[in-house]
Protein backbone atom coordinates (compact mmCIF):
# COMPACT_ATOMS: atom_id res chain seq x y z
CA UNK A 1 0.00 0.00 0.00
CA UNK A 2 2.88 2.34 0.82
CA UNK A 3 6.28 1.95 -0.83
CA UNK A 4 9.14 4.26 0.04
CA UNK A 5 12.50 3.92 -1.67
CA UNK A 6 15.69 5.91 -1.06
CA UNK A 7 13.71 8.77 0.44
CA UNK A 8 15.58 11.89 1.55
CA UNK A 9 14.03 15.04 2.96
CA UNK A 10 16.47 17.82 3.69
CA UNK A 11 16.28 21.48 4.50
CA UNK A 12 18.91 23.97 3.38
CA UNK A 13 19.75 26.71 5.83
CA UNK A 14 22.68 29.02 5.13
CA UNK A 15 25.51 26.77 3.98
CA UNK A 16 24.33 23.77 5.97
CA UNK A 17 22.04 21.01 4.75
CA UNK A 18 19.95 19.32 7.45
CA UNK A 19 18.58 15.85 6.73
CA UNK A 20 15.22 15.31 8.46
CA UNK A 21 14.91 11.95 6.64
CA UNK A 22 17.82 10.01 5.17
CA UNK A 23 17.92 6.85 3.04
CA UNK A 24 14.48 5.63 4.05
CA UNK A 25 13.26 2.37 2.54
CA UNK A 26 9.94 1.21 3.92
CA UNK A 27 7.14 -1.00 2.63
CA UNK A 28 3.80 -1.10 4.37
CA UNK A 29 1.32 -3.71 3.22
CA UNK A 30 -2.41 -3.25 2.81
CA UNK A 31 -4.15 -3.67 6.16
CA UNK A 32 -0.96 -3.41 8.20
CA UNK A 33 -0.77 -1.39 11.41
CA UNK A 34 2.65 0.21 11.83
CA UNK A 35 3.79 2.09 14.92
CA UNK A 36 6.47 4.66 14.12
CA UNK A 37 8.65 5.36 17.13
CA UNK A 38 11.52 7.76 17.69
CA UNK A 39 12.55 10.60 19.97
CA UNK A 40 11.47 14.18 19.34
CA UNK A 41 13.07 15.47 16.14
CA UNK A 42 13.74 12.02 14.67
CA UNK A 43 11.54 12.72 11.62
CA UNK A 44 8.19 11.06 12.41
CA UNK A 45 5.96 14.00 11.47
CA UNK A 46 8.06 14.67 8.37
CA UNK A 47 7.63 11.07 7.24
CA UNK A 48 3.86 11.06 7.87
CA UNK A 49 3.58 14.37 5.98
CA UNK A 50 5.29 12.88 2.95
CA UNK A 51 3.18 9.70 3.00
CA UNK A 52 0.07 11.88 3.32
CA UNK A 53 1.04 14.15 0.42
CA UNK A 54 1.30 17.25 2.64
CA UNK A 55 5.04 17.56 1.99
CA UNK A 56 7.31 16.44 -0.84
CA UNK A 57 10.55 14.44 -0.69
CA UNK A 58 13.84 16.08 -1.68
CA UNK A 59 14.61 12.86 -3.55
CA UNK A 60 13.49 9.25 -3.70
CA UNK A 61 10.31 7.45 -4.57
CA UNK A 62 7.05 7.36 -2.61
CA UNK A 63 4.17 5.31 -3.96
CA UNK A 64 0.81 5.20 -2.22
CA UNK A 65 -1.62 2.60 -3.55
CA UNK A 66 0.24 2.57 -6.86
CA UNK A 67 0.32 6.36 -7.30
CA UNK A 68 3.52 8.46 -7.09
CA UNK A 69 2.02 10.77 -4.47
CA UNK A 70 4.83 13.34 -4.55
CA UNK A 71 4.49 13.75 -8.31
CA UNK A 72 0.73 14.12 -8.63
CA UNK A 73 -0.51 17.49 -9.90
CA UNK A 74 -2.26 19.52 -7.16
CA UNK A 75 -5.86 18.91 -8.22
CA UNK A 76 -5.33 15.17 -8.63
CA UNK A 77 -3.45 15.11 -5.31
CA UNK A 78 -6.26 16.74 -3.35
CA UNK A 79 -8.81 14.30 -4.80
CA UNK A 80 -6.50 11.37 -4.15
CA UNK A 81 -5.94 12.48 -0.56
CA UNK A 82 -9.62 13.11 0.04
CA UNK A 83 -10.50 9.58 -1.03
CA UNK A 84 -7.51 7.56 0.13
CA UNK A 85 -5.95 9.12 3.20
CA UNK A 86 -7.32 10.20 6.58
CA UNK A 87 -5.03 12.09 8.92
CA UNK A 88 -5.37 12.53 12.68
CA UNK A 89 -3.10 15.41 13.70
CA UNK A 90 -1.44 15.80 17.06
CA UNK A 91 -3.35 18.93 17.96
CA UNK A 92 -6.49 17.75 16.13
CA UNK A 93 -6.42 20.82 13.81
CA UNK A 94 -10.16 21.35 14.14
CA UNK A 95 -11.83 24.59 13.13
CA UNK A 96 -13.09 25.56 16.55
CA UNK A 97 -15.77 27.99 15.36
CA UNK A 98 -17.46 25.17 13.42
CA UNK A 99 -19.58 22.38 14.89
CA UNK A 100 -18.45 18.77 15.07
CA UNK A 101 -20.56 17.89 12.04
CA UNK A 102 -19.16 20.77 9.99
CA UNK A 103 -15.57 19.85 10.86
CA UNK A 104 -16.15 16.22 9.98
CA UNK A 105 -17.58 16.84 6.52
CA UNK A 106 -14.68 19.09 5.43
CA UNK A 107 -12.72 16.27 3.68
CA UNK A 108 -15.78 15.50 1.56
CA UNK A 109 -15.87 18.98 0.03
CA UNK A 110 -13.41 18.26 -2.83
CA UNK A 111 -15.30 15.12 -3.82
CA UNK A 112 -18.90 15.89 -2.83
CA UNK A 113 -21.62 16.21 -5.42
CA UNK A 114 -24.61 14.98 -3.47
CA UNK A 115 -25.52 16.72 -0.20
CA UNK A 116 -27.68 13.82 0.93
CA UNK A 117 -24.73 11.43 0.54
CA UNK A 118 -22.48 13.88 2.45
CA UNK A 119 -24.94 13.83 5.35
CA UNK A 120 -25.09 10.04 5.33
CA UNK A 121 -21.31 9.69 5.33
CA UNK A 122 -20.94 12.29 8.09
CA UNK A 123 -23.53 10.54 10.25
CA UNK A 124 -21.83 7.17 9.74
CA UNK A 125 -18.41 8.61 10.71
CA UNK A 126 -19.85 10.25 13.83
CA UNK A 127 -21.45 6.98 14.83
CA UNK A 128 -18.21 5.08 14.33
CA UNK A 129 -16.31 7.58 16.47
CA UNK A 130 -19.10 7.76 19.10
CA UNK A 131 -19.54 11.51 18.81
CA UNK A 132 -23.04 11.75 17.29
CA UNK A 133 -24.41 13.23 20.54
CA UNK A 134 -22.17 16.31 20.09
CA UNK A 135 -22.84 16.72 16.35
CA UNK A 136 -24.10 20.28 16.56
CA UNK A 137 -21.83 21.63 19.27
CA UNK A 138 -19.04 24.06 18.40
CA UNK A 139 -15.82 22.10 18.82
CA UNK A 140 -14.29 24.85 21.01
CA UNK A 141 -16.69 23.62 23.72
CA UNK A 142 -15.73 19.96 23.54
CA UNK A 143 -13.43 18.12 25.96
CA UNK A 144 -10.04 16.85 24.77
CA UNK A 145 -11.30 13.29 24.31
CA UNK A 146 -14.36 14.53 22.41
CA UNK A 147 -12.21 16.68 20.10
CA UNK A 148 -10.11 13.59 19.46
CA UNK A 149 -13.25 11.68 18.47
CA UNK A 150 -14.26 14.46 16.07
CA UNK A 151 -10.74 14.20 14.59
CA UNK A 152 -11.18 10.42 14.20
CA UNK A 153 -14.56 10.91 12.52
CA UNK A 154 -13.07 13.49 10.14
CA UNK A 155 -10.20 11.12 9.29
CA UNK A 156 -12.56 8.27 8.40
CA UNK A 157 -15.47 10.17 6.84
CA UNK A 158 -14.44 9.51 3.25
CA UNK A 159 -13.81 5.82 4.05
CA UNK A 160 -10.09 6.12 3.21
CA UNK A 161 -7.87 3.04 2.93
CA UNK A 162 -5.05 4.67 4.90
CA UNK A 163 -5.19 6.35 8.30
CA UNK A 164 -2.17 8.35 9.48
CA UNK A 165 -2.01 9.39 13.15
CA UNK A 166 0.55 11.82 14.58
CA UNK A 167 1.00 11.52 18.36
CA UNK A 168 -2.71 10.78 18.66
CA UNK A 169 -2.72 10.34 22.44
CA UNK A 170 -0.30 13.13 23.39
CA UNK A 171 -3.07 15.22 24.91
CA UNK A 172 -5.29 12.46 26.28
CA UNK A 173 -5.57 10.82 29.68
CA UNK A 174 -5.15 7.08 29.99
CA UNK A 175 -8.84 6.27 29.69
CA UNK A 176 -9.26 8.29 26.50
CA UNK A 177 -5.99 6.91 25.13
CA UNK A 178 -7.32 3.37 25.62
CA UNK A 179 -10.55 4.38 23.87
CA UNK A 180 -8.47 5.73 21.00
CA UNK A 181 -6.64 2.40 20.75
CA UNK A 182 -10.02 0.64 20.58
CA UNK A 183 -11.01 2.90 17.67
CA UNK A 184 -7.75 2.07 15.90
CA UNK A 185 -8.35 -1.63 16.47
CA UNK A 186 -11.77 -1.29 14.88
CA UNK A 187 -10.30 0.53 11.86
CA UNK A 188 -7.63 -2.15 11.59
CA UNK A 189 -10.34 -4.83 11.64
CA UNK A 190 -12.11 -2.97 8.83
CA UNK A 191 -8.95 -3.54 6.78
CA UNK A 192 -7.52 -0.03 6.93
CA UNK A 193 -3.79 0.51 6.66
CA UNK A 194 -2.79 2.44 9.79
CA UNK A 195 0.44 4.30 10.58
CA UNK A 196 0.81 5.81 14.06
CA UNK A 197 3.70 8.07 15.08
CA UNK A 198 3.97 8.05 18.85
CA UNK A 199 6.14 8.13 21.96
CA UNK A 200 3.36 6.66 24.06
CA UNK A 201 4.33 3.34 25.74
CA UNK A 202 0.64 2.32 25.59
CA UNK A 203 1.32 1.47 21.92
CA UNK A 204 4.12 -0.96 22.81
CA UNK A 205 1.66 -3.78 23.37
CA UNK A 206 -1.30 -3.24 21.12
CA UNK A 207 -4.06 -5.81 21.52
CA UNK A 208 -3.81 -6.58 17.79
CA UNK A 209 -1.04 -7.36 15.35
CA UNK A 210 1.24 -4.50 14.52
CA UNK A 211 4.81 -3.76 13.55
CA UNK A 212 7.08 -1.22 15.23
CA UNK A 213 9.46 0.83 13.10
CA UNK A 214 12.12 3.01 14.75
CA UNK A 215 13.42 6.31 13.43
CA UNK A 216 16.65 7.77 14.73
CA UNK A 217 18.05 11.05 13.39
CA UNK A 218 16.01 10.63 10.22
CA UNK A 219 17.08 7.05 9.56
CA UNK A 220 15.23 3.79 10.07
CA UNK A 221 17.04 1.61 12.59
N1 LIG B 1 10.35 23.04 7.44
C2 LIG B 1 11.44 22.70 8.13
N3 LIG B 1 12.58 23.42 8.04
C4 LIG B 1 13.70 23.05 8.71
N5 LIG B 1 13.79 21.96 9.51
C6 LIG B 1 12.68 21.21 9.62
C7 LIG B 1 11.46 21.52 8.95
N8 LIG B 1 10.55 20.56 9.25
C9 LIG B 1 11.17 19.71 10.08
N10 LIG B 1 12.45 20.08 10.30
C11 LIG B 1 13.41 19.41 11.17
O12 LIG B 1 13.38 18.03 10.89
C13 LIG B 1 13.56 17.28 12.09
C14 LIG B 1 12.44 16.26 12.22
O15 LIG B 1 11.24 16.95 12.53
P16 LIG B 1 9.88 16.17 12.81
O17 LIG B 1 8.84 17.18 13.08
O18 LIG B 1 9.64 15.23 11.70
O19 LIG B 1 10.24 15.34 14.12
P20 LIG B 1 9.33 14.40 15.02
O21 LIG B 1 10.01 13.06 15.11
O22 LIG B 1 7.93 14.43 14.53
O23 LIG B 1 9.43 15.11 16.45
P24 LIG B 1 8.31 15.25 17.63
O25 LIG B 1 8.31 13.91 18.33
O26 LIG B 1 8.87 16.33 18.51
O27 LIG B 1 7.01 15.60 17.01
C28 LIG B 1 13.59 18.30 13.23
O29 LIG B 1 14.93 18.48 13.62
C30 LIG B 1 13.02 19.54 12.62
O31 LIG B 1 13.57 20.70 13.18
MG1 LIG C 1 6.16 15.15 15.34
pLDDT at residue 74, as a whole number:
86
Q: State the residue range of the domain holding 207.
A: 30-45+73-220
Contact 193, 2 (CB under 8 A): yes
Which residue has the least CA distance to atom 1 on ligand 1?
A: 11
The confidence score (pLDDT) of residue 38 equals 93
Rounded to whole angstroms, what are the CA distances from 54 to 46, 50, 62, 197? 9, 6, 13, 16
| Best residue for ligand 1 mutational test, from 14, 42, 164, 166 (most atoms within 8 Å of Cβ) | 42
- Name the 3-class secondary structure at 174: helix
User: Is 209 inside any structural domain?
Assistant: yes
Residues of the chain short of pLDDT 70, as ranges, are: none
Q: Give whole-number Cα distances, 13 to 7, 18, 19, 41, 217, in Å.
A: 20, 8, 11, 17, 17
**Best substitution site from 39, 41, 91 to test ligand 1's pocket, by max atoms within 8 Å of Cβ?**
41
In a domain, 215, yes or no: yes
SS3 36: strand
pLDDT for 48: 96
Into how many domains does the chain fold? 1
pTM (2 decimals)? 0.92
Atom of ligand 1 nearest to the CA of 90: 27
Of the listed ligands, the closest to the CA of 37 is: 1
Atom 28 (ligand 1) nearest CA: 41
Task: Determine the distance separating the centroid of ligand 2 and the alpha carbon of 49, expressed in angstroms.
Answer: 10
pLDDT of residue 49: 95
Q: What is the CATH number of the domain that holds 153?
A: 3.40.50.300
Q: Name the residue of 10, 46, 167 to mutate for ligand 1: max ligand atoms within 8 A of Cβ.
A: 46
Amino acid sequence: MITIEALQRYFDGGDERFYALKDIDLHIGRGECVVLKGVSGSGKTTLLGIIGGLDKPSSGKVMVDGEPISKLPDLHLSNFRAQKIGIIFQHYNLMDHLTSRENILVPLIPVANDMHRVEEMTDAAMKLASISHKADMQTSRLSGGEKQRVAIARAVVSDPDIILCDEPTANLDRENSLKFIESIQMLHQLGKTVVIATHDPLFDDLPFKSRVVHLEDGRLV
